[in-house]
């Protein structure tokens, strides 16, 4: 007898088209990479050395589900001073990357059939986690005419008695939008009025070119906010898989317990590495940011006057580029495949980020200045002349 079928929820999980482009580009030396959503720098040396020494001292074992007490304290004190709000260590759960924090947060509050408000365009993993929870994604549009900032008048109309949680992301992937204080205040009022949880994904909080990062933690949401961030983007530590979620106090034990069947705990060596990062010099953060800013300016030089940039990115390291001319016949996935096959340039098809985004591709400025300039020039030419 044949084995019975695999789990339908697993098989029907939405998959990200980022992976398809990455596998097509993998192993090819002639490709300019503008698809990769991770810093192209190495983790700063003092962090690597600190982690190495910690491993030698014996930090190679399981830790408690929510993480090491010393790091929970360090994260709480870092987040308190960043947000100007007192955050206790008991609210911190250390996770396997920020994505682990998003997973624990959503699983803590979303039942099967609950509705989850998700930005469109937005990071595709919001959809897949919602799907695994058996919950229903309800997309709210981020429109280029509003600078990809959410419009709460429209979101209000989407609330039903099944709405459980809204996901917000600032600075935004893939838009590069940094949400201003008025919008974050509106988010807080909205969540309080409707009794809805907020998952605020702030993993790009240190990569800001214009304006300031406004954390959702500033607005008295303590009993309903899951604030997600981590080491990956700020310290070029994607491979260490270290993130965290600051939970409502009552739900922190729930989120921590959810780690047991999936990861048990975040890696102990990585936790030590992040402890060193938080304690150590912060100048690497500014240095990385200035490199991204310089590259963002290259983007403006190449695409600024073409009408192809719907919004100038104010944070993170991404921009959406309008491919409407070619989209009419192809769609963003076919466009990205052709750009890679015919011109050796890899970008992410916008459709990955939601139905509204098929008229765009996403470029990441995580590649050297000269390659970036060349890749953007090829992209511009391909959009304009085919
Ligand atoms: C918006 C957003 N949130 C979360 C993550 C996950 O970060 P981590 O590598 O820490 O899991 C990413 C990674 O690309 C992201 O773009």
Q: Which atom of ligand 1 is nearest to the CA of 100?
A: 11
Ligand 1 pocket residue status of 364, Cβ below 6 Å: no
Choosing among 3.30.70.930, 3.90.1150.10, 3.30.360.10, 3.30.1360.20, the CATH entry for 8-43+283-385 is 3.90.1150.10
Ligand 1 pocket residue status of 123, Cβ below 6 Å: yes
The closest of 332, 343, 341, 328 to 382, measured between CA atoms, is 343
Q: Which of 37, 123, 169 to mutate to test the pocket of ligand 1 (most atoms within 8 A of CB)?
A: 123
Ligand 1, atom 13, lies closest to the CA of 37
What mean pLDDT comes out for the span 17-39?
87
Ligand 1 pocket residue status of 240, Cβ below 6 Å: no
What mean pLDDT comes out for the span 320-339?
84
Residues of the chain with CATH 3.40.640.10: 45-279
Region of poorest pLDDT, from 76-85, 181-190, 261-270, 327-336: 327-336
Q: Which of 19, 38, 97, 102 to mutate to test the pocket of ligand 1 (most atoms within 8 A of CB)?
A: 97
156 φ, ψ to 5°?
-50, -40
Ligand 1, atom 7, lies closest to the CA of 98
Distance 2 CA to ligand 1 centre (A): 39
Element (DSSP H or E) covering residue 246: strand 243-246
Q: Do 40 and 364 touch, CB atoms closer than 8 A? A: no
Enter the tokens of residue 286. 């500014």
Ligand 1 pocket residue status of 37, Cβ below 6 Å: yes
The closest of 236, 224, 261 to 48, measured between CA atoms, is 236
Ligand 1 pocket residue status of 173, Cβ below 6 Å: yes
What mean pLDDT comes out for the span 86-100?
98
Please report the pLDDT score of residue 386 as a whole number.
Answer: 80
Alpha helices in the chain (DSSP H): 8-11, 17-25, 45-56, 69-83, 97-109, 125-132, 152-156, 181-194, 252-257, 268-279, 283-303, 324-330, 332-343, 369-385
* DSSP structure string for 34-75: ----S-SSPPPHHHHHHHHHHHHTT--S---TT--HHHHHHH
Q: Do 352 and 124 touch, CB atoms closer than 8 A? A: yes
Please report the pLDDT score of residue 329 as a whole number.
Answer: 63
Residues of the chain with CATH 3.90.1150.10: 8-43+283-385
Please report the pLDDT score of residue 23 as a whole number.
Answer: 86
Please report the pLDDT score of residue 255 as a whole number.
Answer: 98
Separation in Å, CA 235 to CA 43, 46, 205, 289: 6, 11, 12, 10
What mean pLDDT comes out for the span 325-339?
81
pLDDT of 104-119, one tens digit each?
Answer: 999 999 999 999 999 9
Q: Do 175 and 148 touch, CB atoms closer than 8 A? A: yes
Q: Which of 203, 204, 317, 366 to mutate to test the pocket of ligand 1 (most atoms within 8 A of CB)?
A: 203
Strand 243-246 versus strand 32-33 pairing type: unpaired
Please report the pLDDT score of residue 190 as a whole number.
Answer: 98
Ligand 1 pocket residue status of 201, Cβ below 6 Å: yes
Ligand 1 pocket residue status of 322, Cβ below 6 Å: no
Integer Cα distance of 277 and 284 in angstroms? 10
Beta bridge partners of 226: 199
Q: How high is the mean pLDDT of the chain?
A: 95
Ligand 1 pocket residue status of 142, Cβ below 6 Å: no
Cα 367 versus chain centre, distance: 18
What mean pLDDT comes out for the span 206-228?
97
Residue 194's pLDDT band, with cuts at 50, 70 and 90, is very high
Integer Cα distance of 383 and 109 in angstroms? 43
Ligand 1 pocket residue status of 232, Cβ below 6 Å: yes
CA max distance for the chain: 64
The answer to whether the bond into 215 is cis (omega within 30° of 0) is no
Q: Please check the confidence at residue 327 and state whether its pLDDT lies above 70.
A: no
Residue 342's pLDDT band, with cuts at 50, 70 and 90, is very high
Ligand 1 pocket residue status of 203, Cβ below 6 Å: yes
Q: Provide the CB-side half-sphere exposure for 374 (13 A, CA).
A: 13
- CATH class, range 45-279: alpha beta
Q: Please check the confidence at residue 16 and state whether its pLDDT lies above 80.
A: no
Distance 4 CA to ligand 1 centre (A): 35
Q: What percent of the chain has a predicted confidence (pLDDT) above 70?
A: 99
Ligand 1 pocket residue status of 97, Cβ below 6 Å: yes
3-state DSSP call for residue 211? coil
Integer Cα distance of 165 and 197 in angstroms? 4
Distance 287 CA to ligand 1 centre (A): 21
Integer Cα distance of 366 and 173 in angstroms? 13
Residue 269's pLDDT band, with cuts at 50, 70 and 90, is very high
Ligand 1 pocket residue status of 98, Cβ below 6 Å: yes
Q: Please check the confidence at residue 326 and state whether its pLDDT lies above 80.
A: no
What mean pLDDT comes out for the span 33-46?
93
* DSSP structure string for 319-354: EEEE-HHHHHHH-HHHHHHHHHHHH-EE-EEGGGG-
- pTM given for the model: 0.97
Long-range contacts of 47-51 (CB under 8 A, 24+ apart): 47/235, 47/237, 47/273, 47/276, 47/277, 47/280, 48/273, 50/272, 50/273, 50/275, 50/276, 50/280, 51/240, 51/269, 51/270, 51/272, 51/273, 51/276
pLDDT higher at 191 or 12: 191
pLDDT of 160-193, one tens digit each?
Answer: 999 999 999 999 999 999 999 999 999 999 999 9
Distance 99 CA to ligand 1 centre (A): 6
């Amino acid at each position: 007898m044949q084995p019975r079928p695999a789990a339908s929820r697993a098989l029907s999980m939405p998959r990200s088209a980022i992976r398809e482009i990455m596998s097509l580009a993998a192993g090819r030396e002639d490709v300019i990479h503008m698809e990769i959503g991770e810093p192209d720098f190495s983790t700063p040396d003092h962090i690597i050395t600190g982690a190495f020494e910690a491993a030698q001292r014996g930090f190679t074992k399981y830790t408690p589900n929510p993480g090491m007490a010393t790091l929970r304290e360090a994260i709480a004190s870092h987040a308190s001073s960043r947000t100007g709000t007192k955050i206790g260590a008991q609210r911190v759960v250390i996770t396997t990357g920020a994505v682990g924090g998003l997973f624990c947060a959503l699983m803590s509050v979303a039942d099967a059939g609950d509705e989850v408000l998700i930005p469109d365009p937005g990071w595709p993993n919001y959809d897949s986690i919602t799907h695994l929870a058996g919950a229903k994604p309800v997309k709210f549009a981020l429109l280029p005419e509003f600078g990809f900032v959410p419009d709460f008048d429209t979101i209000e109309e989407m609330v039903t008695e099944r709405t459980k949680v809204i996901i917000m992301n600032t600075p935004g992937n893939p838009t590069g939008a940094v949400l201003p204080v008025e919008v974050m205040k509106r988010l807080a009022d909205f969540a309080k009025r409707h009794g809805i949880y907020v998952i605020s994904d702030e993993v790009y909080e240190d990569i800001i070119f214009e304006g300031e990062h406004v954390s959702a933690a500033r607005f008295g949401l303590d009993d309903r906010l899951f604030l997600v961030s981590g080491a990956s983007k700020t310290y070029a530590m994607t491979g260490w898989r270290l993130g965290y979620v600051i939970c409502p106090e009552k739900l922190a034990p729930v989120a921590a317990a959810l780690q047991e069947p999936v990861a048990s705990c975040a890696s102990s060596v990585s936790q030590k590495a992040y402890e060193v990062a938080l304690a150590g010099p912060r100048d690497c953060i500014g240095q990385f940011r200035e490199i991204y800013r310089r590259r963002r300016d290259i983007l403006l030089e190449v695409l600024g006057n073409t009408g192809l940039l719907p919004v100038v990115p104010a944070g993170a390291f991404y921009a959406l580029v309008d491919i409407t001319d070619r989209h009419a016949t192809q769609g963003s996935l076919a466009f990205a495949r052709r750009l890679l096959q015919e011109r050796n340039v890899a970008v992410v098809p916008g459709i990955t980020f939601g139905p509204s985004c098929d008229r765009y591709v996403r470029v990441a400025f995580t590649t050297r200045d000269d390659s970036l300039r060349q890749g953007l020039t090829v992209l511009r030419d391909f959009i304009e002349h085919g």
